[in-house]
Amino acid sequence: MIIDGNQVEEGSRLEADVCIVGSGAAGISMALDLSGRGLAVLLLESGVLEEDPASQDLYAGEVADERMHSPPDKYRQRRFGGSTAIWGGRCMPFDPIDFEARHWVPLSGWPIGYEEVARYYPLANTLAEAGACEYDADQAFDPDATAMFEGFRSTRVRTNSLERFSCPTNFARRYQKRLQLAPDLRVLLRANCTGIHLAPDGGSVRTLSVATLQGRRFSVAARQVVLAVGGLETPRLLLASRDVHAQGIGNQHDVVGRYYMCHIAGNVGSLQVAGPTSRVNHQYLVSKDGVYCRRRLSLTADEQRRLGVANMVARLHFPRITDPAHRNGVLSGLYLAKNLISYEYGKRLNDGAPPSVGNYLKHLRNVVADPLDTLGFLAHWLRKRSLAERKFPSVILRNRSNRFSLEIHGEQMPNPQSRVTLTNTPDALGLPRIQVDWRYSRLDIDSVKRTLDVFAQEFQQDGRLSLHYAEDQLEEDLTRFGAYGGHHIGTARMGDNPRTSVVDADCRVHGVGNLYVASSAVFPTSSQANPTLHIIAMALRLSAHLSAQLQARPPSQAQAPTLATEAD
Amino acid sequence: MRVLVLGASGYIGQRIVHHLQGSGWASALQASRRPVPAAHSSTGAQRLQLDTLDLGSLSAALAQVDAVVNCVAGSAHAIAEGARLLAAAAAAQATSPRIVHMSSMAVYGAQEGTVTESSPLDPTLGWYAQAKCEAEAHLRQHAQAGHPVVMLRPGCVYGPGSELWVGRIGRLLLNSRLGDLGEAGDGWSNLIHVDDVCAAVLAALHLPCSAGIAPTYNLSAPDSPRWNQYFLDLALAIGATPVKRLRYRRVALDAKLAGPMLKVGEKLMQAAGLATSDLPVPISPSLLKLWPQQIFLDPSASLRGLNLHLTPYGEGLQQSAAWFASTHRTATSRHTSA
């Protein structure tokens, strides 16, 4: 059932076996997975299906450096379905090496192994509508016909790592009917969790306070509470809930909000491939189940260990869009249309340099000089993206010159100085807004550099490929747009040691018996992967854990708590 | 046991005859409005051309048997009035023969969520649902009068030879007119293998019936997936790849624009005695309603009461795909034809 929080009686107390706060990719996946297991599940959602400015404003906050990080209300959506309403759909699993303690990555090592999460990837793929759980390009496709570079062989550099694309699926639109019909699920819209209240000994959550922007207030008492509110909102709620622990929940050792990571990203270098353009496969592939997929460049795990570098991938990319010297009508058209594109997707079309009239004219000339290509692109975009249900994932140009740049997406080293804190400015419901101070380190850049060097060496070995990049420009290229938007990682990191982590191997907040986190907030390290698929897999792992726990320990009452409202 | 099978020329009727003949304890008298093609007499079952709307010949046929399986399809009149006449003819026999009636999940109408045999009936979904509800009502009355009746409500009956749920779907997939429909294909398929339906019929022939009550069972495999998954699995199995993600609006347009024309064309060609297998498949309005409908037919009563051991979905799918490949010459990958 899906109802409006304003329909709940003022001052009442709702009971449930599991209360999930937040209905994004994690919250909806968990609710669907918990359904049918004899548990009463309550899902609290701040917004409604469409974007609501007042609800979205609850996400507003500050950033320490605007060039380094987007405002906190960008790249995330406070609405039913969460940020799946605007995500790009890129799915890929973490790698086994991501879970290892790597002495060259500070505080690395997950308290769980790859396999513990990997078994949830197939269902996560299904929920994300990313097709079969096959991420080895040489298994999913004909290795020769789809090779990234024909004939390229290397024992150090992989070209078979695959990314698959969700539609991108808006989880609320896609699954709202399932949520509506499930007799054991209740979704409350416009219901904001404004505080987590612990028992006096701090050992368990007693209630959650809930408020609507229309002024209705009530509380929730649940046997298990799950925060599925994303990597920025998780520390906010934990830090702002101070009625038992003055420093916030789970924050005895000042870890909540620290170690904040995104990804290091940017376009770098110039890769030239000798021979015909047919030798290179830079395009999207379509799998038998109809999913767009793409190969990526990466180092083998052994090579990462040998070099002591962080994990990273690179995709074949086109030249820098903002520079009209590329003489490409499509890219210039995109540049000129950047004001029509949403903040999240237009951001990387604006590299900080103030646009000059001369620059605009040069871009305009590119469009006029290249009308067929531009029109062809527009037609393709209209048919395969705007009008398509499964959307062509991104702009891919025809390869005319065998010259590419590399689009980097790299892991960041955990750093306690990179953090999310509370400000003194409250939002409309009285909860302090956040400030984001994202930092990167020299080590992050250096990891990319040393990885690129191996790519360059292996390409040179092949003889037909050559990669060049300006070492002195690398840091600028990788930080031009600041942190990669939308990947909010590490603010309630998982670990065995409460001095360096917030949640344990079961995603339970240290010291609090029934408070769990389902979010990229718990990732102790950030991998090369975009986080969504792993968030879903981790959420499914958590729902399996919770249902096992609850089924093993039935409530003390004769029957399970119902969803009925009772007066407080 | 001699068993009269009404509607024996249909897909399910034919299979039931086959299973009865192979049971070792039953012999089938297969009746249909049209003469049964010779190819289907291989079971050795006795054939009978019979108009089920003719009370006299129906009664005469019933006099020869111990039980009757009612698989009559066709018009609303044939279904509803046929059931009424069947009950009347059975009641008039010296020993009332048992009636095993093939109803349908259509009797649940537009309901969503899990439906059990005690869920209310809803005849508002269309003429078919209404006729099926009326047929059930006649036979329930017959049961209340003390005559033995068992009612089976199958979901979508698939398997080798199923034109409706394998042939038609497969051809739509090959032509990219069907694929992953997203939320519009999120309904449960409620598939049930034709052999499992036959097993249920055979079990129903022996089921103890207490006076006044018609035992009623949903028939569907609990492991049958949602429609999108079935479309994907079947498409992969018959090489209709890459599977397309389609907007519901596009499929709806196909149904509304091409549907009526194709249906008329099909009828005209049938009337002219021409083969219709090369004609594109029409998408009916009822399919458009069915695919998004999240109705889950709870089969637990039938699994217990009829002691069914169902064909696993994967096995049924492979058999169905193999049948499709062997009978549909166009079943080659779009990759190779493109």
Residues of chain B found within 8 Å of residue A389, distances taken between Cβ atoms: 182, 245-247
Contacts made by residues B306-310, CB under 8 angstroms, sequence distance 24+: B306/B199, B306/B200, B306/B203, B306/B204, B306/B207, B306/B217, B307/B203, B308/B196, B308/B199, B308/B200, B308/B203, B309/B199, B310/B192, B310/B193, B310/B196, B310/B221, B310/B222, B310/B223
pLDDT in tens, B4-52: 999 999 999 999 999 999 999 999 999 988 775 654 556 778 888 889 8
Cβ distance of A288 and B294 shorter than 8 Å? no
pLDDT in tens, A89-109: 999 999 999 999 999 999 999
Query: Does residue B332 register a pLDDT over 70?
Result: no
**Residue % of chain A over a pLDDT of 90:** 83
The whole-number pLDDT of residue A558 equals 37
Cβ distance of B242 and A289 shorter than 8 Å? yes
Query: Does residue A568 register a pLDDT over 60?
Result: no
pLDDT in tens, B86-99: 999 999 999 999 99
Q: Which of A39, A96, A112, A390 is nearest to B250 (CA)?
A: A390
Cβ distance of A181 and B112 shorter than 8 Å? yes
The whole-number pLDDT of residue B224 equals 97
Interface residues from chain B to A (CB-CB < 8 Å): 112-113, 179-180, 182-183, 186, 232, 236, 241-247, 292, 294
The whole-number pLDDT of residue B159 equals 98
Query: Does residue B334 register a pLDDT over 50?
Result: no
Contacts made by residues A132-137, CB under 8 angstroms, sequence distance 24+: A132/A287, A132/A289, A132/A291, A133/A93, A134/A162, A134/A287, A135/A92, A135/A93, A135/A161, A135/A162, A135/A163, A135/A164, A136/A160, A136/A161, A136/A162, A137/A161, A137/A162, A137/A285, A137/A293, A137/A295
- d(CA A58, CA A431) in angstroms, rounded, equals 9
Nearest-5° Cα angle at A289, A284 to A292: 20
Cβ distance of A129 and B294 shorter than 8 Å? no
Return the residue of B nearest to A181 by Cα: B113
Query: Does residue A215 register a pLDDT over 90?
Result: yes
Task: Select from B183, B243, B294 the Cβ nearest to the Cβ of A174.
Answer: B183
Query: Does residue A298 register a pLDDT over 60?
Result: yes
Cβ distance of A290 and B183 shorter than 8 Å? no
The whole-number pLDDT of residue A352 equals 61
- The mean of the pLDDT values for chain A is 94
- d(CA B13, CA B24) in angstroms, rounded, equals 18
Query: Taking the model in full, what pTM does it have?
Result: 0.94
The ipTM, to two decimals, is 0.92
Average pLDDT over residues A474-496: 95
Task: Select from A174, A178, A288 the Cβ nearest to the Cβ of B182.
Answer: A174
Residues of chain B found within 8 Å of residue A175, distances taken between Cβ atoms: 183
Query: Does residue A209 register a pLDDT over 80?
Result: yes
The CA R_g of chain A, rounded to the nearest whole Å, is 24
pLDDT in tens, A545-564: 999 999 877 665 433 434 44
Q: What is the pairing mode between strands A565-566 and A185-189?
A: unpaired
Position B288, amino acid: L
**Residue % of chain A over a pLDDT of 70:** 97
Average pLDDT over residues A200-211: 98
- The mean of the pLDDT values for chain B is 92
For residue A464, give every residue at least 6 positions away whose Cβ sits within 8 Å of its Cβ, in sequence order, or none.
Answer: A149, A151, A152, A273, A274, A275, A279
Torsion, Cα B273 B274 B277 B278, to 10 degrees, reads -160
pLDDT bin (cut points 50, 70, 90) of residue A230 is very high
Tell me the shortest Cα–Cα distance from B175 to chain A, in angstroms: 14
Interface residues from chain A to B (CB-CB < 8 Å): 129, 167, 173-178, 181, 183, 286-290, 388-390
Average pLDDT over residues B218-237: 98
Average pLDDT over residues B56-82: 95
Task: Select from B179, B180, B294 the Cβ nearest to the Cβ of A181.
Answer: B294
pLDDT bin (cut points 50, 70, 90) of residue A334 is confident
Cβ distance of B242 and A286 shorter than 8 Å? yes
pLDDT bin (cut points 50, 70, 90) of residue A301 is very high
Average pLDDT over residues A8-31: 98
Query: Does residue A519 register a pLDDT over 50?
Result: yes
Tell me the shortest Cα–Cα distance from A388 to chain B, in angstroms: 8
Tell me the shortest Cα–Cα distance from A289 to chain B, in angstroms: 5
Query: Does residue A405 register a pLDDT over 70?
Result: yes
The whole-number pLDDT of residue A562 equals 41
Strand partners of residue B31: B6, B48
The whole-number pLDDT of residue B257 equals 87
The whole-number pLDDT of residue A219 equals 98
Please give the span between the terminal C-alpha atoms of chain A, in angstroms, as a whole number.
23
pLDDT in tens, B184-222: 999 999 999 999 999 999 999 999 988 889 999 999 999
Residues of chain B found within 8 Å of residue A167, distances taken between Cβ atoms: 182, 245
pLDDT in tens, B292-330: 999 999 999 999 999 999 999 999 999 999 999 999 865
Average pLDDT over residues A393-414: 90
Cβ distance of A289 and B243 shorter than 8 Å? yes
Average pLDDT over residues A333-362: 80
**Residue % of chain B over a pLDDT of 70:** 95
Return the residue of B nearest to A128 by Cα: B182
Average pLDDT over residues A177-188: 98
pLDDT in tens, A423-443: 999 999 999 999 999 999 999
The whole-number pLDDT of residue A378 equals 87
Return the residue of B nearest to A132 by Cα: B232
The whole-number pLDDT of residue A526 equals 98
Count of CB pairs separated by less than 8 Å, A with B? 46
Average pLDDT over residues A386-390: 89
Return the residue of A nearest to B239 by Cα: A288
The whole-number pLDDT of residue B295 equals 97
Residues of chain B found within 8 Å of residue A288, distances taken between Cβ atoms: 236, 241-243
Return the residue of A nearest to B185 by Cα: A174
Position B338, amino acid: A
Write b or e for each residue in B92-126: b if 16 or more Cβ atoms lie within 10 A of its Cβ, otherwise e.
eeeebbbbbbbbbbbbbbebbebbebebebbbebb
**Residue % of chain B over a pLDDT of 90:** 79
Report yes or no: A227 and A518 within 8 Å, Cβ to Cβ.
yes
